[in-house]
């Protein structure tokens, strides 16, 4: 029928309009000319492939209701209800990433990987920008596969069989100075204390690509290594990853949507917008145990 033909042509037009381009050599891609609330199966498959290839995707000019945000997240997998972030009223799936004008400390203001302290760390996080300061508040992303590939053979051999312990009490627990500074933007301090052991070099569970899987936010120690030696090794890896050549800096605009792969990236929310409000909504997607 004419209406079926019109729908088919509109679908084809949407497919041809969508463009995916690298944000940087090491991490990230920009997805343009697409509405994530109207993705057909082929578009979503292309986006998922780009996500695995680039680690982080950025979508501009989205207009999402909380229901839209949740529906998009569910296309990726089951939603992981975050234990520690304050949740949006009426939407337990959505965590609030908020800093008010009178607050000094932001959320995520240091290099980290979400949920690495869990036995089955979150697959990804989907962050939607609702209110952005006039300047500042960018997020840095780092690519763990590129950082691993750039290591010399001696370091690769040294770390190939190592494991690291990750934990969260120092961030989310009752005695955490950071929790006290963030205040009621964090919840459930009594539920903190999880630890998990993961490989230092992770073969990505979906692609098999090797990348580094330690981070300054939640990695506590190298297992079965003297503490001083382990901390020195971790710092050497961190210094390597913190080189600009492995990064992309995303300058947020209202309506931006980002999704990142927690198995292959770090991120860091800049805290350089004192006196202004910054409000984003985040949904986290469940992952699998890492081997």
Supply the residues annotated as catalytic: 112, 114, 267, 282
Alpha helices in the chain (DSSP H): 2-17, 41-54, 66-76, 144-149, 153-159, 169-172, 177-182, 227-241
**Residue 244 neighbours by CB distance under 10 Å:** 11
- Chain mean position to CA 281: 13
Q: For residues 16 and 43, what is the distance between their CA atoms, to the nearest angstrom? A: 10
The answer to whether the beta carbons of residues 281 and 73 sit under 8 Å apart is: no
Identify each DSSP E strand in the chain by its residue range: 19-22, 29-32, 56-59, 79-80, 87-88, 91-99, 124-131, 139-143, 163-167, 195-199, 201-203, 210-212, 219-222, 247-250, 257-261, 265-269, 278-285
């Amino acid at each position: 029928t004419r209406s079926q033909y019109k729908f088919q042509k509109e679908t084809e037009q949407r497919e041809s309009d969508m463009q995916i381009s690298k944000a940087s050599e090491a991490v990230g891609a920009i997805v343009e000319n697409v509405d994530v609330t109207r993705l057909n199966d082929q578009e979503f498959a292309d986006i998922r492939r780009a996500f695995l290839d680039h680690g982080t995707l950025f979508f501009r000019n989205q207009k999402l209701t909380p229901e839209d945000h949740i529906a998009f997240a569910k296309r990726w997998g089951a939603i992981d209800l975050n234990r520690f972030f304050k949740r949006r009223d009426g939407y337990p799936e959505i965590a609030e990433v908020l800093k008010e004008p009178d607050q000094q400390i932001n959320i995520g203001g240091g290099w980290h990987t979400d949920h690495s302290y869990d036995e089955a760390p979150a697959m990804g996080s989907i962050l939607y920008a609702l209110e952005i300061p006039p300047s500042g508040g960018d997020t840095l992303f780092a690519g763990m596969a590129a950082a691993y590939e750039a290591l010399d053979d001696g370091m690769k051999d040294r770390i190939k069989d190592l494991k690291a312990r990750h934990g969260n009490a120092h961030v989310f627990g009752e005695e955490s100075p950071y929790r006290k500074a963030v205040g009621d933007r964090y919840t459930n301090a009594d539920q903190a204390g999880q630890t998990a052991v993961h490989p230092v070099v992770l073969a990505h569970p979906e692609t098999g690509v090797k990348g580094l899987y330690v981070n300054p936010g939640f990695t506590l120690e190298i297992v079965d290594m003297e503490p001083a030696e382990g901390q020195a090794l971790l710092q050497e890896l961190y210094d390597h990853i913190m080189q600009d050549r492995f990064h992309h800096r995303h300058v947020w605009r209202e309506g931006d949507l980002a999704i990142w792969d927690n198995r292959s990236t770090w991120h860091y929310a800049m805290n350089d917008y004192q006196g202004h409000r910054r409000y984003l909504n985040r949904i986290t997607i469940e992952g699998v145990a890492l081997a």
